[in-house]
Amino acid sequence: MAPTPRSTRPRKSEPAEPTPPAPAPRPVRKRKAPPAPPAIEPAPPPPSATPGPPPDPAPSARRRRIVVTGAAGFVGGRVASALLERGDEVVALVRDPHRAGHLSAIGAELIESDLSDVARLTEDLRDADGVIHAAGSYRVGISKAERGAMWDANVGTTTRILDAAEAAQTPRIVYVSTVNVFGNTRGEVVDEAFHRDLAAGFLSWYDETKYGAHEVVEQRIAGKAPVVIAIPSQVYGPGDHSAVGEQLRLANLGRLRYLALADVAFGLVHVDDLAAGILAVLDSGGAGESYVLSGPRVRLGEAVALAASIGGHRAPRLRVPTRLLRAIAPVGRLIGRQNVRELVSASAGVTYWASSDKAERELGWRARDLERGFRDTFGAA
């Protein structure tokens, strides 16, 4: 779970202090101004006249400047909020500041950026204590015409962020990957050391682009870049507008009419737990290491049944056979589905199962159980 700020409520024996005003919205910048030349400081007195300097505070005990990409998104937004709640300074690189006013309202500094210019990114990262790269494109079932944009959003953007971080000498980089890089685990629960069989091909264009970005990051790690990798499983929680999240929401409301591809399996991790895990990776992850952040493993049909039950409903009885989906794949566009074939190949009987034992052991991270997570997501008592 995301870290909880320490209470500022006074003791009963003391008068209550006035409530401090809400933080003023941070200004939006299109580019960060170049740093001013360092001031010339007077020489310190002789060692005998002054004590030695105090030790640097621990990373979690001092205010740090953290740049976050993808902060306007579902996961990146929770990461930015968690950083601000614990007292860090957040610089959010967003494509459209007008759609990210909620971040400014809670104290983040917004910089308008499409992440396309390495020189500008270098200036944005100048003097940052770390960067969390959570931006990307996460859709499955796209058309061929959209592939170039997704490749740039996942592989190109990651490459530019790493180039800029190297130029700015950013001391800490967290890359947010995905368990999709392991491919279909075929019922096996894998860990960070697992390598997929590339001869088996990729399940979707998203699968291939995220694998490509992950490879770029591993190459930089081999070159001693200060990168740590967070590997989330399927994310859910309040505000989730993904295809899986929408099915769970409709099931909870009793409005899901049918279920397709019910045997696809994944770990489900609550977005607040994931944000806490990403911060743990930032704070304590070993340089060059990877950490799976996965919630309980479940099949889609089981997750839908639980969501429906919590809402007081039954899961839909109508199941769409996978063979029917394969049959209509050639005419998918006529029913509003750009690439049914890709949806089927990425889901039918596929398991995206990975163990978070390493994160639990080394970072002290835990994911909540599904019933608690769903009750939080759907506002159930």
Residues 57-109 have pLDDT tens digits of 444 457 899 999 999 999 999 999 999 999 999 999 999 998 899 999 999 99
Q: If we measure between CA atoms, which residue out of 286, 313, 308 comes closest to residue 230?
A: 286
In terms of DSSP H, where are the helices of 153-236? 157-168, 205-222
Measured at the CA of 320, the angle between CA 264 and CA 300, to 5 degrees, comes to 25
Q: What is the SS3 assignment for 84?
A: helix
Asked whether 274 and 215 are in contact (CB, 8 A), the reply is no
Residue appearing with tokens 């809400």: 22
CA distance 357 to 292: 8
What number of helices (H) and strands (E) belong to the chain?
A: 13, 14
The DSSP call for residue 115 is: S
Give the whole-angstrom CA distance, residue 132 versus residue 312: 39
| Contact between 202 and 184 (Cβ < 8 Å) | no
User: How far apart, in whole angstroms, are the C-alpha atoms of residue 159 and residue 328?
Assistant: 38
CA distance 172 to 131: 6
Coil vs helix vs strand at 296: coil
SS3 at position 153: helix
Closest by alpha carbon to 244, among 293, 295, 300, 170?
300
Digit-by-digit pLDDT tens for the chain (381 residues) are: 444 443 333 333 344 444 444 455 555 554 444 444 444 344 344 343 334 444 444 444 578 999 999 999 999 999 999 999 999 999 999 999 988 999 999 999 999 999 999 999 999 999 999 999 999 998 998 889 999 999 999 999 999 999 999 999 999 999 999 999 999 999 999 999 999 999 999 999 999 999 999 999 999 999 999 999 999 999 999 999 999 999 999 999 999 999 999 999 999 999 999 999 999 999 999 999 999 999 999 999 999 999 999 999 999 999 988 888 878 766 555 445 667 888 899 999 999 999 999 999 999 999 999 999 999 999 975
Cα–Cα dist 1/54, whole Å? 32
In order of start, what are the domains of the chain with their CATH numbers?
Answer: 60-378 (3.40.50.720)
